[in-house]
Amino acid sequence: MLQSVLLSRVNLWGARPDLMLLVVLAWAMVRNVEEGLLWAFIGGLILDLLSGGPLGAISLALVAVAFLAGRPWGRGAVTAPVLGSPLISLLLLAFLGVVVYHLTLLFILTLMGYAVDWRFALTRVIGPSALLNVSLVPFVWQPLTWLERRTRRERFVL
Protein backbone atom coordinates (compact mmCIF):
# COMPACT_ATOMS: atom_id res chain seq x y z
CA MET A 1 0.00 0.00 0.00
CA LEU A 2 2.76 2.42 0.96
CA GLN A 3 4.53 1.59 -2.29
CA SER A 4 1.45 2.42 -4.35
CA VAL A 5 0.14 5.41 -2.39
CA LEU A 6 3.32 7.15 -1.31
CA LEU A 7 6.62 5.86 -2.68
CA SER A 8 5.52 5.67 -6.33
CA ARG A 9 5.21 9.47 -6.30
CA VAL A 10 8.90 9.86 -5.42
CA ASN A 11 11.07 10.38 -8.48
CA LEU A 12 14.78 11.13 -8.27
CA TRP A 13 16.25 11.48 -11.76
CA GLY A 14 14.12 8.59 -12.97
CA ALA A 15 14.66 6.43 -9.88
CA ARG A 16 12.02 5.42 -7.38
CA PRO A 17 12.48 3.68 -4.04
CA ASP A 18 11.02 0.21 -4.26
CA LEU A 19 10.14 -0.87 -0.74
CA MET A 20 8.62 -4.20 -1.73
CA LEU A 21 11.69 -5.14 -3.75
CA LEU A 22 14.02 -4.26 -0.89
CA VAL A 23 11.98 -6.18 1.66
CA VAL A 24 11.77 -9.28 -0.53
CA LEU A 25 15.46 -9.14 -1.33
CA ALA A 26 16.50 -8.74 2.28
CA TRP A 27 14.07 -11.30 3.68
CA ALA A 28 15.12 -13.96 1.20
CA MET A 29 18.71 -13.45 2.25
CA VAL A 30 18.02 -13.22 5.96
CA ARG A 31 15.50 -16.02 6.34
CA ASN A 32 15.36 -18.51 3.47
CA VAL A 33 14.43 -18.71 -0.18
CA GLU A 34 11.01 -20.27 0.43
CA GLU A 35 9.71 -17.51 2.63
CA GLY A 36 11.23 -14.94 0.32
CA LEU A 37 9.46 -16.51 -2.63
CA LEU A 38 6.11 -16.60 -0.85
CA TRP A 39 6.30 -12.99 0.22
CA ALA A 40 7.50 -11.99 -3.23
CA PHE A 41 4.55 -13.73 -4.83
CA ILE A 42 1.92 -12.40 -2.45
CA GLY A 43 3.33 -8.88 -2.22
CA GLY A 44 3.84 -8.72 -5.95
CA LEU A 45 0.28 -9.83 -6.58
CA ILE A 46 -1.06 -7.06 -4.37
CA LEU A 47 1.02 -4.50 -6.25
CA ASP A 48 -0.22 -5.96 -9.52
CA LEU A 49 -3.81 -5.44 -8.36
CA LEU A 50 -3.01 -1.78 -7.73
CA SER A 51 -1.23 -1.45 -11.05
CA GLY A 52 -2.55 -0.78 -14.53
CA GLY A 53 -0.22 -3.37 -15.96
CA PRO A 54 -0.67 -7.10 -16.46
CA LEU A 55 -1.63 -9.08 -13.39
CA GLY A 56 1.33 -11.18 -12.34
CA ALA A 57 4.09 -9.05 -13.85
CA ILE A 58 5.45 -7.50 -10.66
CA SER A 59 4.84 -10.77 -8.84
CA LEU A 60 6.99 -12.75 -11.27
CA ALA A 61 9.72 -10.11 -11.21
CA LEU A 62 9.85 -10.20 -7.40
CA VAL A 63 9.88 -14.01 -7.41
CA ALA A 64 12.93 -13.89 -9.67
CA VAL A 65 14.66 -11.54 -7.22
CA ALA A 66 13.76 -13.68 -4.21
CA PHE A 67 15.02 -16.78 -5.98
CA LEU A 68 18.30 -15.05 -6.79
CA ALA A 69 18.80 -13.67 -3.28
CA GLY A 70 17.63 -16.74 -1.43
CA ARG A 71 19.91 -19.23 -3.13
CA PRO A 72 22.75 -20.58 -0.97
CA TRP A 73 25.32 -18.63 -2.95
CA GLY A 74 23.23 -15.49 -2.53
CA ARG A 75 22.88 -15.87 1.21
CA GLY A 76 26.46 -17.02 1.40
CA ALA A 77 27.55 -13.71 -0.06
CA VAL A 78 26.70 -12.20 3.30
CA THR A 79 27.86 -15.01 5.60
CA ALA A 80 31.04 -15.59 3.56
CA PRO A 81 31.46 -12.05 2.26
CA VAL A 82 33.10 -10.98 -0.96
CA LEU A 83 36.10 -8.67 -0.52
CA GLY A 84 35.99 -9.36 3.21
CA SER A 85 33.02 -7.12 3.89
CA PRO A 86 29.40 -8.27 4.41
CA LEU A 87 28.23 -4.79 3.53
CA ILE A 88 29.90 -4.79 0.13
CA SER A 89 28.54 -8.26 -0.58
CA LEU A 90 25.08 -7.13 0.45
CA LEU A 91 25.21 -4.04 -1.75
CA LEU A 92 26.51 -5.99 -4.75
CA LEU A 93 23.79 -8.60 -4.42
CA ALA A 94 21.17 -5.89 -3.99
CA PHE A 95 22.41 -4.16 -7.14
CA LEU A 96 22.13 -7.43 -9.04
CA GLY A 97 18.67 -8.02 -7.61
CA VAL A 98 17.40 -4.61 -8.70
CA VAL A 99 18.75 -5.11 -12.21
CA VAL A 100 17.14 -8.56 -12.44
CA TYR A 101 13.84 -7.10 -11.21
CA HIS A 102 13.77 -4.36 -13.82
CA LEU A 103 14.89 -6.61 -16.67
CA THR A 104 12.23 -9.18 -15.77
CA LEU A 105 9.56 -6.46 -15.68
CA LEU A 106 10.65 -5.10 -19.04
CA PHE A 107 10.66 -8.56 -20.56
CA ILE A 108 7.17 -9.36 -19.29
CA LEU A 109 5.75 -6.03 -20.44
CA THR A 110 7.26 -6.49 -23.89
CA LEU A 111 5.92 -10.03 -24.07
CA MET A 112 2.41 -8.89 -23.10
CA GLY A 113 2.37 -6.23 -25.82
CA TYR A 114 2.94 -3.11 -23.75
CA ALA A 115 4.99 -0.32 -25.31
CA VAL A 116 8.41 -0.18 -23.67
CA ASP A 117 11.36 2.07 -24.48
CA TRP A 118 14.25 -0.30 -23.77
CA ARG A 119 16.94 2.25 -24.45
CA PHE A 120 15.42 4.77 -22.04
CA ALA A 121 14.85 2.05 -19.47
CA LEU A 122 18.42 0.78 -19.64
CA THR A 123 20.05 4.20 -19.58
CA ARG A 124 17.74 6.36 -17.48
CA VAL A 125 15.76 4.07 -15.19
CA ILE A 126 17.59 0.89 -14.24
CA GLY A 127 20.89 2.54 -13.36
CA PRO A 128 19.47 5.31 -11.13
CA SER A 129 16.95 2.88 -9.57
CA ALA A 130 19.72 0.42 -8.77
CA LEU A 131 21.85 3.10 -7.15
CA LEU A 132 18.96 4.53 -5.15
CA ASN A 133 17.63 1.20 -3.91
CA VAL A 134 21.09 -0.13 -3.13
CA SER A 135 21.68 2.91 -0.94
CA LEU A 136 18.45 2.12 0.92
CA VAL A 137 19.28 -1.56 1.52
CA PRO A 138 21.12 -1.02 4.83
CA PHE A 139 18.08 0.81 6.22
CA VAL A 140 15.86 -2.14 5.38
CA TRP A 141 18.39 -4.82 6.29
CA GLN A 142 18.73 -3.87 9.94
CA PRO A 143 15.03 -3.94 10.87
CA LEU A 144 14.47 -7.15 8.94
CA THR A 145 17.44 -8.82 10.60
CA TRP A 146 15.96 -7.88 13.95
CA LEU A 147 12.56 -9.17 12.87
CA GLU A 148 14.05 -12.43 11.70
CA ARG A 149 15.72 -12.99 15.04
CA ARG A 150 12.45 -12.28 16.85
CA THR A 151 10.39 -14.61 14.68
CA ARG A 152 12.89 -17.37 14.17
CA ARG A 153 11.62 -20.79 15.16
CA GLU A 154 14.00 -22.21 17.71
CA ARG A 155 15.45 -25.63 17.01
CA PHE A 156 15.77 -27.87 19.96
CA VAL A 157 18.44 -30.52 19.93
CA LEU A 158 18.07 -33.36 22.40
Partner 1 sequence: MRESPPRPWLPLLLLVLGLLILVFHDAGYLAPVENVLHFVLDPLQRLVSGVTGAAGGLFETVRDVRELRAQVEELQAQVDALTVENVRLREYEAGVQQYRALLNFASEYPAYLGADVIGQGACETFPCGEVVGTEPNPYLRYVTINVGARQGVEVGMPVVGGGAGLVGRVTQVYPRTAQVRLLTDLDSAIAALLQTSRVTGLVVGQPDDTLLMELIPQEENITVGDIVLTSGLGGFVPKGLVIGQVTEVQQMDYALFQTAIVRPAVDFARLEQVLVITAFEPRPPEEPPPEEP
- The residues of the shown chain that bind partner 1, judged by CB under 8 A, are 1-6, 8-9, 11, 14, 16, 18, 20, 33-34, 37-38, 40-41, 45-47, 49-60, 63, 67, 102, 105-106, 108-109, 112, 114-117, 120-121, 124-125, 129, 153-156
Judged by beta carbon, residue 73 or residue 156, the one nearer partner 1 is 156
Least distance (Å) between residue 74 CB and partner 1 = 13
Least distance (Å) between residue 156 CB and partner 1 = 5
The Cα–Cα gap between 29 and 51 comes to 27
Q: Indicate the residue type of 112.
A: M
Judged by beta carbon, residue 125 or residue 136, the one nearer partner 1 is 125
Judged by beta carbon, residue 45 or residue 131, the one nearer partner 1 is 45
